[in-house]
Amino acid sequence: METLTFTTDDGIRLEGELRLPDDPPAGTAVICHPHPRHGGSKDHPLLWAIRNELAGASGFAVLSFNFRGVLGSGGTYGGGHDELRDAWAAITRVREEAPDVPTVVTGWSFGASVALRETLDDERVSGLAVVGLPLAPNDLSLPALPEGAAVRTRHLPTLFVAGENDEYCPSNLLEEYAAATGATAAIIQGTDHYFWRREREAAALIGAFAAGVVA
């Protein structure tokens, strides 16, 4: 694991960790973390599990990072808007490790929202796999998600993962959004938004999807 810093196009310095596979990377990946105002950072068991799955079984170079204003990253919370710049910069940085292989972007909760919105206009990205997309954010103030038709037009292989009892990503709403966007929805039974002790199960779905993108 390599710790590193990189800079956004508006001059914010972000901290991250790069995990490389044992062999030359089959792909590159960026992981976006949950809400900065609710304790979110790159350091969470679910995100560790996704990182390990992508770098291990799937053979990806993986960059986990902290959004602006979180722990050692500079700047201040950007309301879910400025964080698009952070994700763009993270993709730029991880692609320096292997510029000629596909890139997959993943994220959880707030990070899922950022990942989805960033990939709409980023032709460098070959696949999107997100967990707990906040379709019913309740107490979270987030930018609106794009309409299904806008996502479908991108023609990007997309996987949505959620727990059966996720209050922020109700399974019925996710299945409707997946149908509207052309994405695949995977519902993990018997768990909620936090995937407690089910992290590896969610990560395995992300890893299998990413492996399919580079196959």
The pLDDT of residue 137 is 80
The pLDDT of residue 139 is 66
- With both helix axes pointing from N to C terminus, report the angle between 199-214 and 45-55 in degrees, rounded to the nearest 10: 30
> What are the domain boundaries of the chain?
2-214
Q: Which tokens belong to 114?
A: 């950022």
pTM here is 0.97
How far apart CA 98 and CA 37 sit, in angstroms, is: 33
Nearest to 55 by CA among 16, 94, 33, 28: 28
- pLDDT below 70 — which residues of the chain? 139-140
Are 112 and 46 contacting, i.e. CB atoms less than 8 angstroms apart? no
Percent residues over pLDDT 90 in the chain? 95
Q: What DSSP string runs through the chain?
A: -EEEEEE-TTS-EEEEEEE--SSSPSEEEEEE-S-GGGT--S--HHHHHHHHHHHTTS-EEEEEEPPTTSTT--S---TTTTHHHHHHHHHHHHHTT-TTS-EEEEEETHHHHHHHHHHTT-TTEEEEEEES--SS-TT---PPPPPHHHHHHHT--EEEEEETT-SSS-HHHHHHHHHHHT-EEEEETT--TT-TT-HHHHHHHHHHHHHHHH-
**Torsion (CA) 92, 49, 83, 157 in degrees, nearest 10:** 70
CATH number of 2-214: 3.40.50.1820
